[in-house]
Structures are given as C-alpha cells and as structure tokens.
Amino acid sequence: MGQREVERAQIICRALKKTIPEPSVELNYSNALELMVATVLAAQSTDVKVNEVTAVLFKKYQHAADYVAVEAEELEKDIRSTGFYRQKAQNIRAAMAILIREYDGQVPKQMDALLGLPGIGRKSANVILGNVYGVPGVVVDTHVGRVSRRLGLTAETAPSKVEKVLAQLLPVEEWTAFGQRVVLHGRYVCKARKPRCDECVLMPHCDYFARQIAGA
C-alpha cells in the first residue's frame, strides 16, 4: 500500500465530506443499550422497519433487565416484523443477561467485550463504539464493501479485511465518519444494481465507472 493509494483515499474522503457533511447512523436511539438492540434487529432488515419497531419497543423495554424478565415469546412478537425474530430475540435476551451479569447492565466500551455478546459482530460493535462512545472504527457493511471495491480502494471481500485496508488508508480521526459516509453513499447513490454514476461526486476517482461505464 503506497502513498498513491493513501492520497487517493484522502481525496475520496474530502469529496464525501462535501456531500455528506454530518453523517449519522440512520437507526433511532437515545443510548448505548437502544443502539445495541437496534443493530441486532437491523440484520436482514431495513433501518426504516427497525425504527418503526423500536419506536414502540424502547418505551416498553428501557433496561437490560426488562428484556430478560419478559417471556421469549412476547419479545418475539414485539420484534416479529424485522424478520428472523426468534434468533434475534434469543440473541437479545442472552446479551442482556451477560450485561447484567458482567457489566452492571451497561453496554461495554471495548471491542472484545462487545464481540462476546450474542448477535454483535464487528460492524455492530463499531457502530456502537463510534456513535455512542467516540471510539474510532470503520464500519463495514455490504454498502461499504461494494463501494470500496468499485472505487478501487480494495479488492478484499471479507468485511474484516476491508476494514483493515480502509483503516490503513485513512487517519484514525476519519474512521467513524468515513465509514458512515460510505454507508449512506452506497445506500442512496452507489446502489448495488443501478448505481447513479451521473450524480456521483466520486465519478472521477472511480475504477468501476472508468471500466464499466466510460469503457462501454
């Protein structure tokens, strides 16, 4: 990884800052516990659907103990519309039991501790750490992976490897915001099936455009 790649990544970073000056996660939450639950529910679902569910859910369940005290079937019913509700309910209840047992009911601030919670992977952990605790991390979801490969920032497909490459290309203070900007860019501009290249500020720096569009 040379200076050219680093400079190119920084150009892309600056361009995204202009179009998405204040990036934020599109899940609604007011604290770490709510964001943790929302990230579990977001798996194989949409942020819009999760926000519909949590608008009611977070009024009913406000502490880790609330999720543990309720019957599994009731929690499943409350989150059913997000899909895979049985597994999600199981993960949430198990994670809450760990929080109560090991962390005084609070969501931990360490990556390793978060990864020990059922239903929480590196993507979700970075979302929580970056948005609630201010701990830098590059969130890599399907959008970030796709956009990073199209831009030519990496050829890696495994999220953990994409995260490592992007972290090497950018200064630490840019990690969280850059990841969130790329998520939004991928969601609304660089879409999987029909990328809106004519509206994209990154077009001059995009390998995908140069290869697939301009060369057609």
pLDDT value for 215: 60
pLDDT digits (tens, 9 = 90+) for 69-98: 999 999 999 999 999 999 999 999 999 999
Q: Choosing from 47, 77, 123, 161, which is the catalytic residue?
A: 123
Report the percent of the chain where pLDDT is more than 90. Answer: 93
pLDDT attached to residue 4: 81
Q: Which listed residue (141, 164, 194, 198) is catalytic?
A: 141
Q: What whole-number distance in Å separates Cα of residue 15 and Cα of residue 113?
A: 35
Do 27 and 42 touch, CB atoms closer than 8 A? yes
Instruction: Quote the CA–CA distance of 188 and 182 in Å, as a whole number.
Output: 10
What are the structural domains, with CATH classification, of the chain?
Answer: 3-23+138-213 (1.10.1670.10), 32-132 (1.10.340.30)
The whole-number pLDDT of residue 212 equals 76
Q: pLDDT tens across 123-164, in order?
A: 999 999 999 999 999 999 999 999 999 999 999 999 999 999
Q: Which residue has the tokens 């201010």?
A: 134
SS (H, E, C) 42-102: CCCCCHHHHHHHHHHHHHHCCCHHHHHHCCHHHHHHHHHHHCCHHHHHHHHHHHHHHHHHH
Would residue 123 show up in a list of annotated catalytic residues for this protein? yes
pLDDT of amino acid 1: 65
- The pLDDT-based confidence of 213 (bands split at 50, 70, 90) is low
Q: What is the pLDDT of residue 183?
A: 97
Average pLDDT over residues 30-55: 97
Other CB atoms within 10 Å distance of the CB of residue 11 = 13
Per-residue pLDDT tens over the stretch 103-123: 999 999 999 999 999 999 999
Q: How many helices (H) and strands (E) does the chain have?
A: 12, 0
User: Could you tell me which of 187, 178, 185 has the C-alpha nearest to residue 138?
Assistant: 178
CB-neighbour burial class of residue 187 (10 A; exposed 0-12, middle 13-18, buried 19+): middle
> 164-206: per-residue pLDDT in tens?
999 999 999 999 999 999 999 999 999 999 999 999 999 999 9
pLDDT digits (tens, 9 = 90+) for 50-76: 999 999 999 999 999 999 999 999 999
Note if 104 is an active site residue.
Answer: no
